[in-house]
Structure 1
Amino acid sequence: METHTFITQLQDRVQHVKATVQSEFLPLDAAALNFKPQPASWSILECLEHLNRYSRFYLPAFEKAIAQVPAAGSDEVVKYSWFGKKSLEMVNPASAKKHKTLQRMNPHNSQLSKAVLDEFLQHQDRLLQLLSRAATVDLNKKALPVEFFPLLKLRLGEALEFVVLHEQRHLQQALRVKASASQPLSLVV
């Protein structure tokens, strides 16, 4: 896929994520945002805090990479490494396979407020700005360390797509939590 099309698709996805958070979660009260379908599950705020933790790592890394990566044309084809493909497969929202998260990225049982939503939306605005800037650089350059193992590097395009897919995956999770909160409770007698 050409860089221009690739970036446009990622921007559309981020806009959708942002709009969904604004329409589905901003109107909710703290109790609904902290509701857990089961004790081991994440709440809506925990899903978004998990994404905030990733954004705190990746957004500055994108900023640095975009500043250092050489320019390229918008007709350049975005390529994938084996590791990049595996990483994207792991966070694909269409995949039902669950993965354990790193302890430092796991917000389970955190005391969270609506400030998580504000931070998340700020991250989305920054990501959109970075995507616009990324449209002019070589997305095939290996430039981004992987959060859990910095010696491994993803190509810039792979890392951008990874973050967006990861957000979509956990947004779906948060929407499932919201839906389960609105289900009537059934009593077993």
Structure 2
Amino acid sequence: MTIIMKCIENKVLISHLEDRLELHLKESISLFQNLHESVLLKPASNGGWSIAQCLEHLNTYGRYYLPVIKKALENQPQQEGSLLFKSSYLGAYFTQLIEPREKMRKLKAAKKHTPPINLNPYLVVAEFIEQQEELLKLLKQSVRVDMNTIRIPISITKWIKLKLGDIFQFLIAHNQRHIMQAKRNLYISYNVPVED
């Protein structure tokens, strides 16, 4: 669940996001890391993406956002005292749109974020885990910076820039959405019991 409030302390927001991200890491390692190639590449029974494609889709976002966030955080002054973050209207809208829920609206991936069928599934899973570890480091670095003033251009158009806190919330909600999709694929295809 995303925290979208009028104002929230950085440390509270980041703690919440870290908890979600650590769960994503744990699930990725325990569920996907040691699966056979054929399992990772098998399309969903409904014709949807394979597990590898779900994770590669997320990797395409990480390849864009992680370096941009890292660069934005360079030389940012660490501030004292309690910092507050307030989501922008657009940031809150994007995050709520992508946030996993019981009945999710199907969204079409942008062309540059559409994963190919032919993938090296082991590299995809390894990169996803590595990206989540990097995202966790960037979250920790952000506790003492003003996430309201750091603006990040979104991946589909550089004209729209969102606050850093909104980007973090969007990325982690988006990750959860597609991890859930990959887990459903694993459950339906192989009757492996997993929880959402």
TM-score by length of 1: 0.91
**Runs of 4+ off more than 6 Å:** none
Counterpart mapping for 1:1-189 below 5 A:
1-38=8-45, 40-67=47-74, 69-73=76-80, 75-94=82-101, 96-183=104-191
Q: Which moved more, 1:33-42 or 1:135-144?
A: 33-42
In the alignment, is the contact (CA less than 8 A) between 2:45 and 2:185 conserved in 1? Answer: no
Q: CA deviation at 1:68?
A: 5.2
Which blocks of at least 5 consecutive residues in structure 1 are unaligned? 185-189
Aligned mates of 2:150, 2:137 — CA distance in 1: 21
Q: For residues 88-110 of structure 1, what are the alpha-carbon distances to aligned partners after superposition, in whole Å with 9 as ceiling and x for unaligned?
A: 01210126111101111101423
In the alignment, is the contact (CA less than 8 A) between 1:30 and 1:113 conserved in 2? Answer: yes
Partner of residue 187, structure 1 = none
Q: What's the % identity of the aligned pairs?
A: 31
Q: How many residues align?
A: 184
Partner SS, residue 87 of structure 1: helix
Q: CA deviation at 1:183?
A: 3.8
Q: CA deviation at 1:69?
A: 4.5
Aligned mates of 2:100, 2:146 — CA distance in 1: 26
Q: Sort the Cα spacing of 1:29 and 1:3 in 2 relative to 1 into closer, same or farther, 3 A.
A: same
Q: CA deviation at 1:79?
A: 0.5
In the alignment, is the contact (CA less than 8 A) between 1:43 and 1:177 conserved in 2? Answer: yes
Q: Sort the Cα spacing of 1:162 and 1:68 in 2 relative to 1 into closer, same or farther, 3 A.
A: farther
Q: For residues 119-178 of structure 1, what are the alpha-carbon distances to aligned partners after superposition, in whole Å with 9 as ceiling and x for unaligned?
A: 111101111111111111001124100100111100010001111111011000000000
Q: Which moved more, 1:76-85 or 1:169-178?
A: 76-85
Aligned mates of 1:68, 1:105 — CA distance in 2: 30
Query: CA RMSD for the aligned pairs?
Result: 1.7
Aligned mates of 2:84, 2:37 — CA distance in 1: 45
Aligned mates of 1:81, 1:143 — CA distance in 2: 11
In the alignment, is the contact (CA less than 8 A) between 1:2 and 1:74 conserved in 2? Answer: no
Which amino acid is the alignment partner of residue 175 of structure 1?
Answer: K
Which amino acid is the alignment partner of residue 144 of structure 1?
Answer: I
Partner SS, residue 93 of structure 2: helix
